Amino acid sequence: MKILNFIINEIFGQGAIFLALIALIGLLLQKKSFSEIVRGTMMTAIGFFVLSQGTGIITGKSIDGLASAFNTIMPSANGTPDIDMSQYGTEIGIVMIIAFAVNLLFARFSKWKSVFLTGHMLYWFPYVFIAAGVGAGLVGFKLVALAAVITSIYMIVAPNLMKPLVKEVTGDDSFTIGHPTTTLSVISGYLGKAIGNKEKSTESLKFPESINFLKEVSITGSIVICLTYIVMSFILKAKGFIPAEVWGYAGASTGVFTFIFTKSIYFGVGVTVMLLGVRMLISEIVPAFKGIADKVVPGAIPALDCPVIFNYAPNALIIGFVVAMITSTITIILTAGMFPTVIIPLTFTCFFEIGTAAIIGNGTGGVRGAVVGAAVSGVIMVFLVGLGSYFFNNTINNWMLVYGGQDFSLWGIVTGLIARLIA
């Protein structure tokens, strides 16, 4: 158990250590010099932490206020599961290790060559699938076996579905995406192919000289967040809430102006730091992974976290976030009472998963692909959360109301259906 816990918590559970270890192995297999090995390993870890700090600033210092406002207007969904899932830590860890081993074997002996390297997602997918099984009444071997099979299938199928779409965005196929955005991104990507024109990209939008500063995504994003907070403050007042109390600056020496300004600028800071981390991580892990691809798993490519493509179409990212917030909010209003839970706009899903879907839609269909892909994804997200509540209401429904609405929900529903048949 000590060895198992070490592997789960100290390696798979730590994204920086996990990726640094992958880089170290890849560089050793390439017989790089001692200096190159140390540099590549350390810079991979540093790049991961820079990327994580950027995403942390966005989620914890910028758009978190929007989530708290929605939680105030509607019943709270604070990301805390209904039951203590820590009691299933061993089962989750076993599933992680089995699924990763199966992924490596499949990449070694089949034509689907992606290796799932998004460290924290190696934990969260088994977490969701174990919860779906527990909700259906599964225990013991059946619970672990089902979660291991579903996690293995996901880690093999999803990144390979994303591979051609990522190539549309990046122009090469040296890496793919291993992230719960897959369902929404695939829909967005093929919608873009069907109705869009990839030559008219969001990154080629023309701005008059007087507002040329909008080409800088950090500035554009900050302005969008500022306007969103202003609108949200009026909505809070219309609903009878006091923004100062909701956002926690009541009694402070500063007021709403400073609060909104700070939240808005933090978004620009987060995007800037995140994109720097993306560049650092990609420049290190992809060349290092070549050693594994050449010597251990021929032709393998890494499946990485979704921010690794944010650099390729940052305008599409912002457009996707805004469009998804609008369409998901409208869908929530129109479907009120339809599901056994009250749904709130999933701010984090709108930014990361649907932002990625908009980038994919832009890669296949330009501006139209990004907008339509994000709009449709916003609607699908709400229905996935609503339908998922039938399977997670007694386990992690509150958690899913914050972090679901994509592959977690869709694959969780499938797992729940199978678990009910087995049970």
pLDDT tens digits for range 39-72: 999 999 999 999 999 999 998 999 888 888 888 8
Percent share of the chain, pLDDT over 90: 70
pTM for this one?
Answer: 0.89
Check pLDDT > 70 for residue 75. no
Question: Region 247-270: what's the mean pLDDT?
Answer: 90
Contact 138, 88 (CB under 8 A): no
* Tokens linked to 73: 């207007």
pLDDT tens digits for range 357-388: 999 999 999 999 999 999 999 999 999 999 99
* Tokens linked to 40: 């590549």
pLDDT tens digits for range 93-152: 999 999 999 999 999 999 999 999 998 899 999 999 999 999 999 999 999 999 999 999
Determine the pLDDT at residue 78.
61
CA 319 to the chain's CA centroid: 17
pLDDT tens digits for range 181-210: 999 999 999 999 999 899 999 998 887 777
Domain extent for 206: 2-422
Q: Tokens 């594994």 map to which residue?
A: 292
Q: Tokens 């940052």 map to which residue?
A: 314
Contact 170, 149 (CB under 8 A): no
Residues 349-383: b if buried by 16+ CB within 10 A, e if exposed: bbbbbbbbbbbbbbbbbbbbbbbbbbbbbbbbbbb
Phi, psi of 158, deg, nearest 5: -60, -50
Give SS3 for 114: strand
Q: Tokens 């609060």 map to which residue?
A: 259
CA angle 221, 234, 344 (to 5 degrees): 70
Q: How many separate helices (H) and strands (E) can be counted in the chain?
A: 16, 3
Q: How many domains are contained in the chain?
A: 1
DSSP 10: I
Q: What is the mean pLDDT of the chain?
A: 91
pLDDT tens digits for range 156-186: 999 999 999 999 999 988 999 999 999 999 9
Torsion of CA 118, 121, 125, 128, to 10 degrees: -170
DSSP bridge pairs for 302: 115
How distant, in Å, are the alpha carbons of 72, 92, 126, 297, 396 from that of 145? 40, 11, 11, 25, 20
Check pLDDT > 70 for residue 77. no
